[in-house]
Amino acid sequence: MAKAPNRRGDRILWTEEGSKARPIAVKFNYLLFSVLFTLLFIGGSLFYVWSRIQVIRLGYEISDALKKERGLTEANKKFRLEIATLKSYARIEKIAIEELRMAKPKPDQVIVIR
């Protein structure tokens, strides 16, 4: 142990040559750094895994939406074909003659409106 007089000279400070105060601080700083680095690494890893899961989930949702869109497009085509079939003049004329017992008008019964 070495005596280190205070500047005022009223007290003597006792210090040891191999003081452990500094190595403990260095160990604490190293431990703090390693804990923070580990937490940062774990947090980054969790964020990466979460983002990958979100990408996969959204991919499935997009795939389902595209499948639904194809089904709706097919249904739309069928409905358009059905509308065209129901609007055909040959069908309407056939229904008028057979089911409603209508006849074609004579030329003098037709009035043209302009």
Domain edges within the chain = 19-104
Write out pLDDT tens, residues 40-49.
999 999 999 9
Give the tokens for residue 48.
């990466």
50 pLDDT tier (thresholds 50, 70, 90) = very high
| DSSP annotation string for 41-94 | HHHHHHHHHHHHHHHHHHHHHHHHHHHHHHHHHHHHHHHHHHHHHHH-HHHHHH
Max intra-chain CA distance, the chain: 139
Q: What is the DSSP letter of 58?
A: H
Give the tokens for residue 37.
């680095």
What is the CB-side half-sphere exposure of residue 103 using CA atoms within 13 A? 4
Residue with tokens 């739309």: 76
Write out pLDDT tens, residues 54-95.
999 999 999 999 999 999 999 999 999 999 999 999 999 999
Q: What is the pLDDT of residue 24?
A: 75
pTM of the model: 0.53
What is the CB-side half-sphere exposure of residue 35 using CA atoms within 13 A? 6
Backbone φ and ψ for 15, nearest 5 degrees, come out as -125, 150
Q: What is the pLDDT of residue 46?
A: 98
Mean pLDDT of the chain: 87
